[in-house]
Structure 1
Amino acid sequence: MRFMIPYDMMETLRNTNQWLGASAKTLGAYPAFAALPNPALTWLAAWGEVTERTFERMVTKPGWGIKSMTCEDGKDHVVQKTHVLERPFGDLLHFEVLGRAPRPRKVLLVAPMSGHYATLLRSTVISLLPDCEVYVTDWHNARDIPVSAGKFDVEDYTLYLVDFMKHLGPDVHVIAICQPAPLALAATAYLAEEDPKAQPSSLTLIGGPIDPNAAPTEVTDFGRTVTMGMLEETMIQRVGFKYKGVGRLVYPGLLQLASFMSMNAERHTNAFVNQITNVARGEASDFDKHNSFYDEYLAVMDMPAEFYLSTVERVFKEAEIAANAFSVNGKPVDIGKITNVAVKTVEGAKDDISAPGQCVAALDLLTGLPDDKKASHVEPEAGHYGIFAGKSWRNNIRPLVLDFIDANSRKKPRKAANRNAA
């Protein structure tokens, strides 16, 4: 119970700031004040508008916003999001384009469970929809999962991926983005021994910490300098009474967000000051660059405590994946058992979270895989976000990934849509 107090205090502070923003926005727009124009009141209303939106977004799960897409027939087709598999800690989603023949390329996007929702991959999904049947892992906010659902650590995450791959069949192509890359590799190796026929056709690992020690960053340095006891004492809290997961131990999203923001505090401060100025001048809009980015960036989810702690300990501190010493339910997972799943790594030369060298380390672990089944790419100007979204992904990385999928497909794709389409 002692950890519920700080959890509820954080939520209280967030709620109070949202209320202060709404109050300032309303006060600054009070009709009677229009008779005595004052720049201070205009700025107050602008500050209130930005503040209310900022703190409201922190507890709001963003929508996917993918309503339709234009197909080769020149018509707009409805995109329907369906839950293919539903599990306590995450679902398997399918983005089905109605009225369009199924695409032979079947892609499973493995989204990170690292503080943000799977909607962080929205632009990645949109860019793949013209050419692929797209499936996504949609992880749930731990604060909404009752304690009765049990634990969820890195082994459970791996077994979820195993189940998803089995359900989609051997013709699926898995693309694991950032944090889940090591566990997607482990899940594939698990299948190589337990159910070889259920292995995916290919595995693309994008910016993941396969070997965190290969190229240290601030993230890896943090993992080495703090003890597990320190992390458990300072980062882990119990969900308060407001949510269904009351009493569950979590790494709170609001605490994670504070860490994210502190890494680039000056840049974020300048962005919000500039946005307040733009609102005061009437130059901002609901979907301007600032709101489009921060509506997603500020939306954070609680992470199960056991998943966070086991990730730090086993993936970063002990480097079990890099040492090929990972196990699931007491059974060793040998990455060298992967012999016929093509594997490609993608890294960004300017990635300051998972630096170049960390992800490509996967290829050295694949001792049983022929060299012609291995590939790697380093995108020269891309940072961490750019390797799966934005111009670098659309123009350079995405076409390479689709070519890799085609080269290792059991089904030959039909004539593809324009691969440089956004």
Structure 2
Amino acid sequence: MKNMATYDLMETIRNTNQWLGATAYSIGSYPITGLAPNPFFQLLAAWGEVTERSFARMIAKPDWNIHTVVCADGRDHIVSVESEVERPFGDLIHFKVHGRKIKARKVLVVAPMSGHYATLLRSTVASLLPDCEVYVTDWHNARDIPVSQGKFDIEDYTLYLVDFMKHLGPDVNVIAVCQPAPLALAATAYLAEEEPEAQPRTLTLIGGPIDPDAAATDVTDFGRRVTMGQLEQYVIQRVGFKYPGVGRLVYPGLQQLSSFISMNADRHSTAFYEQILRVAKGQAADHDKHNRFYDEYLAVMDMTAEFYLSTVERIFKNLEIAQNRFTVNGKLVDIGKITSVAVKTVEGSKDDISGPGQCVAALDLLTGLPDEKKANHLEEGAGHYGIFAGKSWRNNIRPLVLNFIDANAGNTHAENVAQLKSV
């Protein structure tokens, strides 16, 4: 499978289905079909519209679509996305709110690199903007990165986080969502030993696989069943000639998407069937609930082969984070060296990706951290998505995280608040 032909075959299939959808929509929408009383043509056009949109989204990077935010003065303030640090495999971006004083809470949201773009956290970012200065890790699609830029594995990812934290300074509060939770913990431990003064003030880990063996899920079961040789043989491919990363070994986004959909195939089939009927009846809209969800869900990105394989092998199979044996550039990263960073874990009781128990395992690894600087929250009834972007996040978890940040902000935060009140 590790050749360009299979990568281009998937792109050809995607492109063909997009074309078929566009063709069906055009035929079904042709004016003369209005003379036929049979609803076949309406259904044909509806199927074509939904199909074309769905397959077109698979190669598009979504926009953040966060244009304004309402501030304490009751006015809408313009939001612009600005690059703070630019790197080949990912940038540090800042959501700058124009016309308001700098917020005392400085938050770095570490987005997952697990098949979707950082925009998957759009609602998370939007909910934090009124109260925080928000920075986000914006990872790049591996297909667009030339081979000349070299490799990118979980050690490189960790060092990227180290550099981003150092750039933002010691008053930053890190929130790592899902996949990057163990690596954000490792990056903090790395700083604790190498540059203690550059450590973040707080670290919040949301639904991450710190110890995958703590709770069985379909993800952990898959990690145990397959061998590294099987993964490399059947899922790793080379980027085709269409993209700047031609020749780079990747885990293709389209292949990842097929895995995502297969996990809940019946639910997705029903969703698309119902959307086609809504379009045929004229009840759908460009930004309705279905399109808002699937425009993001279907937009997938390639991961470098070395990042994907090292994640499976070192995080899930060898349990290097869970057993405090993780190394960066040959140097052991001792999580027990973290002694001053307040750490909070958040889990959902119905999380089927990172089951409850996997994330809270981080607190046991923090042997050098006082108990008063550790916290955990289990959200009853919440699934994986809900703990960082759904109703549970908005109503319960977000306020708890902000309170945790404030409670451990130290003198610097208090001084910033006093300065803001005096303005």
TM-score range, shorter chain: over 0.9
Partner of 1:123: 123
Residue 79 of structure 2 aligns to a residue whose secondary structure is: strand
Q: Distance in 1 between matches of 2:266 and 2:124?
A: 28
Residue 264 of structure 1: aligned partner:
264
Runs of 5+ consecutive residues of structure 2 not aligned to the other structure: none
Q: 1:84 maps to what in 2?
A: 84
RMSD, matched Cα: 1.1
Q: Deviations over 1:45-101 (max 9, x none)?
A: 000000000000000000000111121212211001100000000000000100000
1:172 aligns with 2:175: no
- C-alpha distance after superposition, 1:231-253 (max 9, x if no partner): 00000000000000000000000
In the other structure, the counterpart of 2:389 is 389
Equivalent residue letter for 1:204: T
The alignment status of 1:182 with 2:185, answered yes or no, reads: no
- Which residue matches 1:25? 25
Question: What amino acid does structure 2 have at the position aligned with 1:135?
Answer: Y
Q: Aligned-pair distance for 1:38?
A: 2.3
Contact 2:50 2:276 in 1 (8 A): yes
Match of residue 228 from structure 1: 228
Which amino acid counterpart does residue 414 of structure 1 have in structure 2?
A: V
**Corresponding position: 1:7 with 2:7:** yes
Equivalents in 2 of 1:4, 1:400: separation in Å? 48
Cα distance per residue 1:89-133 (max 9 Å; x no partner): 000000010000000000000000000000000000000001000
Structure 1 residue 33: deviation in Å?
1.4
**Counterpart residue type for residue 328 of structure 1:** V
Match of 1:361 in 2: 361
SS at 1:80 equivalent: strand
Q: How does 1:8-157 map to 2 (within 5 A)?
A: 8-157=8-157
Aligned to 1:414: 417
1:37 positional shift: 3.2
Q: Where does residue 204 of structure 2 map in the other structure?
A: 204
Counterpart of 1:286 in structure 2 is 286
* Cα distance in 2 between the residues matched to 1:353 and 1:94: 29
How far has the Cα of 1:40 moved from its partner? 0.3
Spell out, residue by residue over 1:312-359, the C-alpha distance to the aligned partner (whole angstroms, 9 max, x if none): 000000000000000000000000000000000000000000000000
Paired residue for 1:295? 295
Count, aligned residues = 416
After superposition, the C-alpha distances for 1:121-164 in whole angstroms (9 at most, x for unaligned) are: 00000000010000000000000000000000000000000000
Deviation at 1:224, TM superposition (A): 0.6
Contact 2:2/2:236 (<8 A) preserved: no
Residue of structure 2 equivalent to 1:420: none
Separation in structure 1 between the aligned mates of residue 47 and residue 56 of structure 2, nearest angstrom: 14
Give 3-state SS (helix, strand or coil) of 2:357's partner.
coil
Deviation at 1:35, TM superposition (A): 2.2
Deviations 1:297-316 (A, max 9, x none): 00000000000000000000
Question: How much has 1:2 moved relative to structure 2?
Answer: 5.3
- SS in structure 1 of the partner of residue 352 of structure 2: coil
Within 1, Cα distance between the matches of 2:2 and 2:287?
Answer: 41
Cα-to-partner distance string for 1:232-278 (whole Å, 9 max, x where unaligned): 00000000000000000000000000000000000000000000000
Is there any run of 5+ residues in structure 1 with no aligned partner, and where? 418-422
User: Counterparts of 1:271 and 1:328 in 2: how far apart (Å)?
Assistant: 44
CA drift of 1:32 comes to 1.4
Q: Normalization by structure 2: what TM-score?
A: 0.97
Whichever residue aligns with residue 351 of structure 2, its letter is D
Give the distance between the partners of 2:368 and 2:266, measured in 1 at CA.
Answer: 47
Superposed, 1:369-388 pairs within 5 Å as 369-388=369-388
* CA apart distance, 1:36: 2.3
2:242 matched to which residue of 1? 242
* Secondary structure at 1:242 match in 2: coil
Whether the aligned pair in 1 keeps the contact of 2:2 and 2:249 (CA below 8 Å) is no
**Match in the other structure for 1:399:** 399
Using the size of structure 1 for normalisation, the TM-score is 0.97
Letter in 1 for 2:371: D
Amino acid corresponding to residue 288 of structure 2 in structure 1: D
Query: How far apart, CA to CA, are the structure 2 residues paired with 1:318 and 1:247?
Result: 29
Q: What one-letter code is carried by the residue in structure 1 that aligns with 2:26?
A: T
The C-alpha deviation readout for 1:345-397, integer Å capped at 9, x for no partner, is 00000000000000000000000000000000000011000000121001000
State how far apart, in whole Å, the 1-side matches of 2:47 and 2:112 are. Answer: 33
Q: How far 1:39 sits from its partner (Å)?
A: 0.2
* Segments of 4+ moved more than 4 angstroms: none
Match of residue 191 from structure 1: 191
